[in-house]
Amino acid sequence: MTGWVRSVRRRLARLPSLSMTRVPDAPALPVRDPWPGDAARGADLLKGMLSLGGSVVELRVGGFADIGGTPMLRAAAHGFTWLRDLRALGTDAARMRARALVTEWMATPHSDPLAERPDVAGARIAAWLGHYDFFAASADDGFRHQLMARLVADARGLAAGLPTEELDARAFTALKGLIAAAVALPDHAAFLTRALRVLPQELARQILPDGCHAERSPAQLMAVLQDLTEIRALLQAAQAQPPQALGSAIERMGPALRGLRHGDGGLALFNGSKEESAALVELVLAQAGRGGRAPSVLADGGFQRLQAGRSVLIVDSGVPAPAKIDRFAHAGTLSFELSIGRDRMIVNCGAAPAAGPEWRDASRSTAAHSTLVIADTNSSELKPEGLGRRPERVEVQRQEAAGAHWLEVSHDGYRKPFGAIHRRRLYLAESGEDIRGEDVVEAATPQPYVVRFHLHPNVDASLQQDGGAVLLRLPSGSGWRLRADGMRLTLEESIYLGGPEPRRSEQVVLGGFQDGPQTVKWAITKVG
């Protein structure tokens, strides 16, 4: 189905004359939003500001007609998931602001096509129904009738547009919205029939055998798991038989998400991810309903987890996500992150997916990751919609013995521009207190390169006078030394985008010269 045909079908489906079904007075069954909001963000919404991933857009009553910001910010505004933040605030003022913004949105002609994109419509339907008792149940009859009429129209348009053009995680948000509408509007049984026809196809296409999501993003894996657990709960509420593939996917995804957590409970920072709240990650896992140990190998998703003592080392060891599902893909192949207990030490810079193109591209660059960079060139070519040139082959060999881990990985992302292969060898001792690495540039013509180790902002770093090592002090008080054989280290500025707000940080840089050795050996060891 072409995009033009989808658009026509959605518009036709929204016409009231196409259905003689009476608009219900209220949802027939309650729909519950199971995720916590943020009262601080709710307070910001009362001031007219919507924040997402460190970026902010103005969201005032009277401002929906010309809302600005990046596509992700505008989609968030039209998706209404921020209603949970007003609900978390819980005041009468928050309730009235929610009602006023919904009222205005319904009354505003929307020229922005993002407002009708299937995932945005699905998020909006689920949010309106999930918070109906908060902002709508006590409203007057006119508001509730208008709201229910709009829900029916949006659900019709959503059903007509399936399957979505978007081949990524957004398809599940669209399906969640349609299933929520089917639960709340049982007179519209066709909504559920349509959704259950598409859901198994998306599960088969997007959820990999090891439980990872096809976008290779810990954040998107968690977002999809949230959507799927909601879908399962909605089907149970409607006493509808869920597809067998749904339970199987959720069962696989829980352990995969555990494998991409650090010791502080937050997410590893690969491909558009931020740390996220450890409490939220734990809640998502509880909803998924499967415990157990984190897997050490996610072969299909392309990640390796090395764990010993109190140390956790997570490595991006896969080719980037394929075209059309690479919107969040970073040029971070072979980058790694290291945490000690609850302290993050070596990190990637994180992501700014809701920011403008300059910040977004900076966070996606190879230099924003803890890995090797040749000639200031990205290992994958960054494009607004995803990636261009990229590694086509990533090789992995792993061995374990007596509690110690050896990992050798390589990628060919630099083959086309430089005829080069980057090979990385990592060792984690049984104690977890001795991490060693070797980075090699294999090329017929020697290349200039640097190896970067981005430090979490909570790490206190000091360069030894001879430049031969950097001392690292973690918040827990433990000390570590990062050194390299025969190579001078420098301590440079960096920025950390993994938390709620950008923070200044530092990075250790090992510089290799074109006429020097194409191999650098380094080590991170505990002091004392």
Helix (H) or strand (E) holding 519: strand 519-527
pLDDT at 24 over 80: yes
Judge whether 320 lies within some domain: yes
What local confidence, expressed as pLDDT, does residue 18 receive? 46
Judge whether 312 lies within some domain: yes
Judge whether 369 lies within some domain: yes
Judge whether 382 lies within some domain: yes
Tokens of 274: 């931020």
- The answer to whether residues 289 and 254 touch, using CB atoms and an 8 Å cutoff, is yes
DSSP one-letter code for 419: S
Per-residue pLDDT tens over the stretch 226-243: 999 999 999 999 999 999
Per-residue pLDDT tens over the stretch 373-389: 999 999 999 999 999 99
Per-residue pLDDT tens over the stretch 187-211: 888 999 999 999 999 999 999 999 9
Average confidence score pLDDT of the chain: 93
- SS3 category, 70: coil
Domain that residue 350 falls in? 297-527
Considering its fold, how many domains does the chain have in total?
1
Judge whether 458 lies within some domain: yes
What local confidence, expressed as pLDDT, does residue 275 receive? 97
Q: Average the pLDDT over 398-413 and give the result.
A: 97
What is the C-alpha separation between 508 and 486, in angstroms, rounded?
Answer: 15
Judge whether 515 lies within some domain: yes
Tokens of 194: 């349509």
Work out the angle between the directed axes of helices 141-160 and 92-107 (0-180°, nearest 10).
Answer: 60
Cβ within 8 Å of residue 147, ≥6 positions away: 102, 106, 128, 136, 139
Judge whether 106 lies within some domain: no
Per-residue pLDDT tens over the stretch 39-48: 999 999 999 9
What is the C-alpha separation between 486 and 516, in angstroms, rounded?
Answer: 11
CATH number of the domain enclosing 470: 2.70.98.70
The DSSP bridge partners found for residue 507 are 454, 492
Judge whether 418 lies within some domain: yes
Dihedral pair phi/psi, residue 75, rounded to 5°: -65, -40
What local confidence, expressed as pLDDT, does residue 20 receive? 45
